[in-house]
Amino acid sequence: MPKTIDPAERLTVRHSIDTFAEGAYCHSRILGDRLIPMHSHENKYQLMYAEGKCIRVCYKSDGELTSMFIPARHFAWIPRGVEHSVEVGHPDVQITNIFYTEVLHDPFYTKTGVYAASNLLVELLHHIKMWNTAVHSRDKKKYSILHTIMCILSDESNKKLPIELPVAKNPRLQEILDFMHYHMPHKISIGNLAGQYGMSERSLLRLFREDVQMSYAQYLKTLRVVKALELLTSTSMTINQIAYEIGYESLPTFSNTFREMIGVRPKVYRA
């Protein structure tokens, strides 16, 4: 499980982000196994790009907590004022953030979501990831690049990942969901989970339905696709190897499930 980021370090970065008043702020680093607790940026829009492994972002929408996952070569857009936390469960994940004071008048910038990054966007983000500073609009050369990045984000809106998972209200169930997330490569059964947490299968199945409004099977299916996205974008494993790694014994079943949730088959998604 990730450890909470050092409060002093967090305050230093937070101060830099919150105090710049015009332009954009770039921040990129390898975060490691860390948890950034729930927070918000009241006057900043945030672009978050992940390299390496999948990271999890929990955010509040209409008072409800939702989890979204950012695989490698994907980005999250978080509008200003949205409360969110960030979990990184791997030591080699690099996160690049750009915070904007102003954005275009487009509905895209008012909605939280995760999107596949185009090759152009990836190249631009690689170009700026070492800046780690505020960039004023008077700095025409640097700010023009950051403004271009912001402008092309809405072009990626048709690449939104339709995958979000609810956060449990019951602390015991959330502990189980966290276990499933961090042990996804291993085969997980409802019987083993129930026994491990001192519950009957029936009680655990009912808790899933009542708390997160999803069946255990639906939750596991979604989690498997999240893991597949991570492996497709960050490894050279074959599609067959990925299917087996996340618990499928049938390649066609995995491929059909992936297409049902993402809209294309794994091979097409990776191309």
Please identify, among 103, 126, 159, the residue that sits at the C-terminal boundary of a domain. 159
Same domain, 153 and 255: no
Please identify, among 159, 189, 208, the residue that sits at the C-terminal boundary of a domain. 159
Q: What is the pLDDT of residue 127?
A: 93
Q: What is the CATH number of the domain that holds 201?
A: 1.10.10.60
Angle between helix axes 216-234 and 201-212 (nearest 10 degrees) is: 80
Q: What is the CATH number of the domain that holds 152?
A: 2.60.120.280
Same domain, 107 and 19: yes
240 phi/psi in degrees, rounded to 5: -65, -40
Same domain, 93 and 193: no
269 phi/psi in degrees, rounded to 5: -60, -40
Same domain, 106 and 220: no
* Cα atoms found within 13 Å of the Cα of residue 67, Cβ hemisphere only: 20
Q: What is the pLDDT of residue 193?
A: 92
* Structural domain for 261, as ranges: 168-270
The pLDDT tens digits along the chain (271 residues) read 555 656 556 666 676 787 788 899 998 887 767 788 899 998 999 999 988 778 889 998 887 888 888 887 889 999 999 999 998 877 778 889 999 999 999 999 999 999 988 889 999 999 998 888 899 989 999 999 999 999 999 888 778 888 888 889 999 999 999 899 878 756 678 999 999 999 999 999 999 999 999 999 999 999 999 889 888 887 889 999 999 999 898 999 999 999 998 888 999 988 7
Instruction: Cite the DSSP H helix spans in the chain.
Output: 7-19, 119-128, 140-153, 171-182, 190-196, 201-212, 216-234, 239-245, 251-262, 266-270
Same domain, 152 and 228: no
Same domain, 138 and 205: no
Residue range 183-208, pLDDT digits in tens: 875 667 899 999 999 999 999 999 99
Same domain, 174 and 152: no
Same domain, 104 and 204: no
Same domain, 217 and 144: no
Q: Per the structure, how many domains does the chain have?
A: 2
155: Cα separation from own chain's centroid: 19
Same domain, 155 and 233: no
Same domain, 251 and 200: yes
Give the residue among 150, 164, 140, 134 at the shortest CA–CA distance from 70: 164
Report which DSSP code applies to 167: P
Same domain, 113 and 213: no
| Angstrom distance (rounded) from CA 31 to CA 89 | 10
pTM, full prediction = 0.81
Please identify, among 159, 191, 211, the residue that sits at the C-terminal boundary of a domain. 159
